[in-house]
Structure 1
Amino acid sequence: MTPLAAIHVANKQLGLDEDTARDLYQRVTGKRSLREMNDRELTFIITEQRQRGFKPAEKGLQGPFAKKLQALWIAAWNLGIVRDRTDAAMLSFVRRQTGIEHTRFLLDADDAAKAIDALKAWMTREAGVDWSQTVATASWLTPSGAKIALAQWQMLSVTKAVEPNGFRKFVWDKAKPLDQMADRDWPAVMNQLGEMVRKAKA
């Protein structure tokens, strides 16, 4: 649902006629017309409507940053630092970081960055994920999935669950040679390593 559609649904749900709705817009943004508002201002209107009791139907994750946030959340779960893998838990985290209730209302890149950067910093602090890109970075280590999988391997090496130098062979056995790995290939490896990480931490 787009922000505009959500606002119209909320007006109907809250029983606001056109004049009353425009009064609300004016008070929150200084503008009486939705057409004059940017995405951030529309989000302010939705937040106000929610405070008045609007309850949008929950239909899974939506919004331009939802997939990225979900992928990072599952990666954090596979690193053993997130205990609850569910979308509901991720939405609670996003709400704490941004003050925005749902990914469908997370439309501003700066707002999304608050949650994305907080998740990445947590993964670096608790699991040693190195997000840096340098000229010396091996090409196979460019995807985020590779960085996360390598951090998983290093965590497992510390617990003696795997051989420190066995990462290349493990990836090849589970997927394909390192230099042939694409972004879409890494989730299967991360999920497999995630099971091992959670077992080691149990």
Structure 2
Amino acid sequence: MNALAAIHVANKQLGLDEDTARDLYQRVTGKRSLRQMNDRELQLVVAAQRHAGFKPAEKGLQGPFAKKLQALWIAAWNLGIIRDRHDAAMLSFVKRQTGIEHTRFLLDAEDAAKAVDALKAWMTREAGVDWRQDVATAEWLRTSGAKIALAQWHRLSVAKAVDPKGFRKFVWDHAKPLDQMLEHDWPAVMNTLGDMVRKAIA
């Protein structure tokens, strides 16, 4: 939100009536009207409101484990085992596993592990993802993305949607040679395979 909108939200959140708000503006910028202020002055008002306790609404997911959980949730969607890929559905799952309302409150590694491990176990049970590291003979197979993509390929093979032996060529066609694949290369492959999996099992 822009500074002007933030100021109005902050006034409401802090319970400031018009005169009290204008007193704040004058104290911070020397001006009683927002219309007379430049961008820098508006930002100074927002800073003063934050100092007084204004907390802007945060958008999206926050917290140290949010990205990992979101990545696993989308992977489960790309494996065809969940129907709703949205963050709200993931947050409901996290709450069921941990009792914690939102990833921004999920600060303890032990609590986060409950949700992470439950998701991984679900992906193993329903889609055959093999998370073990000791069986990965090739370096590229040690990444989570490779493990998920292989499980996707297996699901497609069982559905007779792909040639079981065509995985290496598919990855090369959509990204790069297997032995050059790194973790950040896999999402594009997984997303493409995800479209195919959802069509195959619909």
TM-score past 0.5 threshold: yes
Partner of 1:6: none
Q: Cα–Cα, structure 1 residues 109 and 195, in superposed 2: closer, same or farther, change >3 Å?
A: same
Q: Cα–Cα, structure 1 residues 195 and 110, in superposed 2: closer, same or farther, change >3 Å?
A: same
Whether the aligned pair in 1 keeps the contact of 2:159 and 2:201 (CA below 8 Å) is: no
Deviation for aligned residue 1:92: 0.3
* Farther off after superposition, 73-82 or 132-141: 132-141
Partner of 2:60: 60
Partner of 2:110: 110
**Where in structure 2 are the equivalents of 1:150-165 lying within 5 Å?**
150-165=150-165
Deviation for aligned residue 1:138: 1.4
- The alignment's C-alpha RMSD in Å is 1.5
Partner of 2:167: 167
Q: Aligned partners of 1:60 and 1:160: how far apart in 2?
A: 38
TM-score normalised per structure 2: 0.71
Q: Which runs of 4+ in 1 moved over 6 A?
A: none
Specify the structure having the higher radius of gyration (Cα). 2
Partner of 2:137: 137
Give identity over the alignment, percent: 85
Deviation for aligned residue 1:58: 5.0
Q: Aligned partners of 1:150 and 1:108: how far apart in 2?
A: 31
Partner of 2:189: 189
Q: Cα–Cα, structure 1 residues 198 and 115, in superposed 2: closer, same or farther, change >3 Å?
A: same
Q: Does 1:77 align with 2:77?
A: yes
Partner of 1:86: 86
TM-score normalised per structure 1: 0.71
Q: Aligned partners of 1:183 and 1:107: how far apart in 2?
A: 25
* Residues 144-191 of structure 1: per-residue CA shift (max 9 Å, x gap): 000000000000001110000000000000000000001110000000
Partner of 2:200: 200
* Residues 79-122 of structure 1: per-residue CA shift (max 9 Å, x gap): 00010000000000000000000000000000000000000000
Partner of 2:37: none
Q: Cα–Cα, structure 1 residues 115 and 178, in superposed 2: closer, same or farther, change >3 Å?
A: same
> What letter corresponds to residue 154 of structure 1 in structure 2?
H
Q: Aligned partners of 1:137 and 1:117: how far apart in 2?
A: 24
Q: Aligned partners of 1:90 and 1:100: how far apart in 2?
A: 12
